[in-house]
Amino acid sequence: MRERNFIALITKRLAEASEGIFTGLASVPVPDRQGDVLPLSAFKRSLAEFRADRLVLPVLLDHDPARQIGSVLALDLTDAGLEVTAQLALGLDDGRAAFERMKAGPVGLSIGFAPAPGSITQQGDLRIIDDVDLREISVVSLPANAAARTLSLKSVPYLQDILREHGGMSMRQSKRAAAAAHRAALAEPDHDPDESDAEQGAALVLAELRRVQSIFRGN
């Protein structure tokens, strides 16, 4: 019964009109306009620190530390680049403005970082940086690399609170699970005429949450 209620609660919240979570590529492993190249391996240390809750990443507007517009929920290394899932602060004017821009289409992303000592090598006109301390993610108008941009804009607010209050998850677990639920929402399961779309969505999200919980239990 508790699981059934949990599914119903998730379904209800996912169906509510809510907003603010986006996914995008913050960095791609190809030369940017300045001739810098950051291979995927450059982020492994920062990714490990983030997943261990030793690194908090803000989302800034144009790399301005006085204009934080959100927080990073999840980081992943994919073949395409450094994928970020983040929550915009819609109660702030800058956060709401960034959200409206994303609703209109893809928006540029960029990263703030510091190269680790000894991590830079010069190869002709290119500067290869193979280890960085990631500091922030920024929403920008003109990214250094045109492929660094938002990929999707979805709505899964309140989910972290639900997972903590009703799912028995810790803060760390709920942040990662919320990002997993967001990715699940992007999936397109085969339509089953015997189930409503909401029920399918809830089942998919619950499957993702179980997977994430099993990871933590295994740790």
Choosing from 46, 110, 138, 174, the catalytic residue is 110
Choosing from 63, 152, 155, 199, the catalytic residue is 63
For residue 15, the model assigns a pLDDT of 40
> How many folded domains does the chain comprise?
2
Assign residue 140 the CATH number of its domain. 3.20.16.10
For residue 117, the model assigns a pLDDT of 94
In terms of residue numbers, what domain contains 192?
2-17+157-218
**Both structure tokens of 158:** 């309140």
Q: Is the pLDDT of residue 192 over 60?
A: no
Domain-terminating residue out of 132, 154, 176: 154
Choosing from 27, 83, 136, 174, the catalytic residue is 136
For residue 188, the model assigns a pLDDT of 45
DSSP character at residue 189: P
Q: Are 9 and 107 found together in one domain?
A: no
Q: Are 39 and 122 found together in one domain?
A: yes
For residue 157, the model assigns a pLDDT of 46
Q: Are 125 and 208 found together in one domain?
A: no
For residue 170, the model assigns a pLDDT of 73
For residue 20, the model assigns a pLDDT of 81
119 is catalytic: no
CA angle, 60 then 147 then 105, to 5°: 70
For residue 21, the model assigns a pLDDT of 84
pLDDT single digits (tens) 84-131: 999 899 889 999 999 999 988 899 999 999 999 999 999 999 999 999
Q: Are 91 and 185 found together in one domain?
A: no
CA angle, 48 then 51 then 53, to 5°: 110
Q: Are 86 and 191 found together in one domain?
A: no
**135 versus 190: which is more confidently predicted?**
135
How is 28-43 classified by DSSP, letter by letter? -SS--TTSEE--GGGG
Q: What is the mean pLDDT of residues 148-163?
A: 67
Q: Are 171 and 111 found together in one domain?
A: no
Q: Are 63 and 128 found together in one domain?
A: yes
Q: Are 118 and 163 found together in one domain?
A: no
136 is catalytic: yes
Domain-terminating residue out of 100, 124, 154: 154
Q: Is the pLDDT of residue 217 over 90?
A: no
For residue 70, the model assigns a pLDDT of 95
For residue 47, the model assigns a pLDDT of 95
- Which of 85, 88, 78, 133 has its CA nearest to residue 111? 133
pLDDT single digits (tens) 14-25: 544 346 888 999
Q: Tell me the C-alpha distance between 172 and 184, whole Å.
A: 19
For residue 52, the model assigns a pLDDT of 92
21-27 and 81-88 strand pairing: antiparallel
Q: Are 12 and 65 found together in one domain?
A: no
pLDDT single digits (tens) 132-148: 999 999 999 989 888 99
191 is catalytic: no
Q: What is the pTM of this model?
A: 0.65
Q: How many residues does the chain have?
A: 219
